[in-house]
Structure 1
Amino acid sequence: MLHEFSRTELLIGAEGLKKLAQSKVAIFGIGGVGTFVAEGLVRSGVGKFVLVDDDCICLTNINRQLHATRKTVGKSKVEVMRSRILEINPKAEVTVFQEFYMPDNAAGLLADDYSYIVDAIDTVTGKLDLVMQAKSRSIPVISSMGAGNKLDPTRFEVADIFNTSVCPLAKVMRQELRKRGVTSLKVVYSKEEPLTPLATENSSCSAGCVCPQGTTRKCTTRRQIPGSIAFVPSVAGLIIAGEVVKDIVFSKM
């Protein structure tokens, strides 16, 4: 009998679908990249999700984040994404944490039963700790490098962090992971040189912050707000989703 994943089954078989349905994927960062990771995974048949993000949807998220619409501005990102996942697959299990991942709260956000961890967060401290936690628990992890200030989605590549170039965030991650004795990390990164944001009085978050009520980390407290566009972080997120699916289905994990 045909079902919602019949077309996927033609590619990966019934056993592959079963592996995905039994998998629990934790996505840290439910923004421009993370929402498309979740979308790609639920539409591929992943059955269990953990979503971690402290943010509420902002008007400025509408240009690139899947869950952002006029109706969802001001709502919790993880709650809106949970609702979307369940609309696609009502049988999915979705656990959400409206928290900002950092080393001091890692214990409450991590579990040994995660099949895969996706790092789509935007702070180096959080990214490094999340990678180290995944490595210590022997949980497969993939990390998103910089998707801001980019215009060319065709420049993304999947690589080991130590084979990356151009991306400023990847450079910092390489240096810091080497200090910590990490020898490999799968990442998605872009070889496109970052553009310089064309900030004006009308486009600057510092001058005209519209963060919704309840936002814990307002844009005015951040060092720099990168430019972004719909077709760049979305592509990075779907590439990551593809890597997670292929690893779960075809690799001996």
Structure 2
Amino acid sequence: MGHWQERTELLVGSEGLDKLAKAHVLVIGVGGVGGFAAEAVGRAGVGKITLVDGDVIEQSNRNRQIAALISTDGMPKAEVIGNRIKDVNPNVELDVKKIYLDRDNIKELLLAEKYDYIIECIDTLVPKMEIITTAIQNKIKIISSMGAGGRVDPTQTKVARLKDTYNCQLAQKIRKRIKEKSIKRKLKVVFSPELIDKSKVKTVEGVMHKASTIGTISYMPAVFGLTCASVALRGILEEDK
């Protein structure tokens, strides 16, 4: 019987495993997209992982979020994802922060540690922009997820610079609000140009952190999350090559 990472080692070599083991990845938002991203980072053998999410699991999450089960209903998402990662790699160094991010605590979080990569998977505009600008201004590598909702074709998912995105409302809003051209040029994102049927979006009132809800299907947030994880993991493995 081999060790649990033998297939990964076959692909990336012992040097690659060592790079992953020494890396620290910060995953912000572990819902539909971020939950899959975090699990992929954990299964790849990243040695230190910080998970940030202030949300708890609800029934409506079960169609697309890896943490969401009947048995985990009402539990903190970051805690459930952290437990799953520990169950894969008990040696991982985990920092689970069950907090919402705002202008006041983003800089503190991003500058508190030396992260090799940030995977940003939240859909609230103001903190999302703050995370992106703080990371790039401080030369921290980051991959940001744009909108996976309303889309059904995984083959249209792309990795691009923010300035090159199209047909994505979230990316458009961020582009419009981020004034610095250098950030638009530098920021790597995962997005899909697939056109959305507007009838699949509904406005919600009185729900914290959300202005609208959009239809989703099981596999699309997973595709976005796994693509985000791949960008971060390849970035770590290719460092110093």
Normalised by the length of structure 2, the TM-score is 0.92
Report the alpha carbon displacement of residue 221 of structure 1 after superposing the two structures with TM.
Answer: 6.8
Q: TM-score, normalised by structure 1?
A: 0.88
SS at match of 1:71: helix
Partners of 1:232 and 1:105 lie apart in 2 by: 30
Provide structure 1 residue ranges, at least 5 long, that are not aligned to the other structure. Answer: 207-217
Alpha-carbon distance in structure 1 between the residues aligned to 2:37 and 2:25:
10
Kindly, what percent of the aligned residue pairs are identical?
39
Pair 205,60 (structure 1): closer, same or farther in 2 beyond 3 Å: farther
Structure 1 residues 159 and 199, CA gap change in structure 2 (3 angstroms):
closer
Change (3 A) 1:193 1:93: same
Q: Which residue identity does 1:235 align to in structure 2?
A: V
- Seen in structure 2, the aligned counterparts of structure 1 residues 246 and 220 have a Cα distance that, compared at 3 Å, is closer
Contact 2:167/2:193, CA 8 A, preserved across alignment: yes
- Partner AA of 2:207 in structure 1: C
- Conserved in 1, the CA contact under 8 Å of 2:107 and 2:134? no
Task: Report the equivalent of 1:137.
Answer: 138
Distance of 1:147 and 1:159 partners within structure 2: 15
C-alpha distance in structure 2 between counterparts of 1:205 and 1:224, whole Å: 5
Q: Which residue of 1 aligns with 2:71?
A: 71
Q: Secondary structure at the match of 2:186?
A: coil
Deviations 1:86-131 (A, max 9, x none): 0010001110111111111114422241111111011111111101
C-alpha distance in structure 2 between counterparts of 1:97 and 1:5, whole Å: 27
Equivalent pair of 1:197/1:227 in contact (CA under 8 Å): no
CA RMSD of aligned residues (A): 2.0
Instruction: Say if 1:97 and 1:109, in contact at 8 Å, map to a contact too.
Output: no
Give the structure 2 partner of residue 210 of structure 1. none
* Runs of 4 or more consecutive aligned structure 1 residues displaced over 4 Å after TM superposition: 197-200
More helix by share: 2
User: Aligned runs of 1:65-214 on 2, under 5 Å?
Assistant: 65-110=65-110, 111-179=112-180, 181-182=182-183, 183-198=185-200
Most deviating of 170-179 and 34-43: 170-179
Distance 2:231 2:210 in 1: 31
Aligned residue number for residue 55 of structure 1? 55
Partners in 2 of 1:175 and 1:154 — Cα distance?
A: 27
Change beyond 3 A, Cα 1:199–1:37: closer
What is the count of residue pairs matched by the alignment? Answer: 239
Aligned to 2:219: 231
Counterpart-to-counterpart distance in 1, 2:70 and 2:226: 24
Q: Alignment partner of 1:243: what SS?
A: helix
SS of the aligned residue for 1:154 comes to: helix
